[in-house]
Amino acid sequence: MSRLKDKYALITGATSGIGLETARQFLAEGAKVAITGRNAEALQEAGGLLGNEAILIQSDAGKLDDQRALAERLGHVWPRLDIAFLNAGDVTHRPLEDWDEQTYDNLMATNLKGPFFLLQVLLPLLANPASVILCGSVSARIGLPQSSAYAASKAGLLSLARTLSGEWIQRGIRVNGLSPGPTTTPALQKLGLKDEELDALAAEIRQLVPIGRMGTSLELAKAAVFLASDESSFVVGTELLVDGGVGNL
């Protein structure tokens, strides 16, 4: 398959789950791919799973110096950037009364501030045409308990997809949001919850899904391929929900 043939694609937060599967699908569709991750060991493991075909860049999505270094690295190795899928995220969930300023700041840095400034430094590299995909969440549309800060950060990111579309459309850059619903990924283990709290939340999440099951990383990756490809050339400033009906039914 060659839906992304000869395109240069960046995927942040791609050491597991949706990001890793999207990297796999982008490569299968002919793209040249660079992935990022905070953890060097996890990044190397992901590279091995991708057959050592991807460029591996250690980068913390919440640190602005890392965003500048990432853009500089890509500018040295690639002539342009056709696709950017900003997928890295902090998925911390907790009751409002348990939040502290540092945890809140860390989440917002990773989910909103970091992506904002990464897009700023990537702009000179983005081709005409180019596709930017921001990973939102159906949580921005519903009232899931313990998701207050996370949902707020994703709502901000999805708003950014709309506003930057208006700002960049004359440059040929399409910006869209891709919002997963409940998806089976390792991120569920990173919510900062105790085992019994995680089990209760997972059961509550499953009850939210009209289709009756959780989604898969492959289903989200296939949606990302569509938004990255020329097949979605008339899709601009919107949010693609891949959520089993959670946000609308």
Distance, CA of 128 to CA of 31 (rounded, Å) = 16
Choose the catalytic residue: 150, 183, 225, 246: 150
Name the pLDDT band for 53 (thresholds 50, 70, 90): very high
Query: 207: pLDDT confidence band, cut at 50, 70 and 90?
Result: confident
Q: Which whole number is the average pLDDT over 219-244? A: 98
119 neighbors 86 (Cβ within 8 angstroms)? yes
Over residues 70-88, the mean pLDDT reads 98
pLDDT at 199: 76
Residues 6+ apart with CB under 8 A from 214: 181, 182, 183, 184, 205, 206, 244
Residue 145 Cα distances to 55, 139, 238, angstroms: 38, 10, 26
Question: Would you say residue 202 has pLDDT above 90?
Answer: no
Beta-carbon contacts of 134 under 8 Å, excluding residues fewer than 6 positions away, are 86, 115, 157, 158, 160, 161, 175, 176, 177, 178
Task: Quote the pTM value.
Answer: 0.94
Which residues, in sequence order, are CB contacts of 178 under 8 Å at separation 6+? 85, 133, 134, 135, 136, 220, 223, 224, 227, 239, 240, 242
For the question of residue 8 being annotated catalytic, the response is no
Residue pLDDT, tens place only, 105-155: 999 999 999 999 999 999 999 999 999 999 999 999 999 889 999 999 999
Domains located in the chain, CATH noted: 8-237 (3.40.50.720)
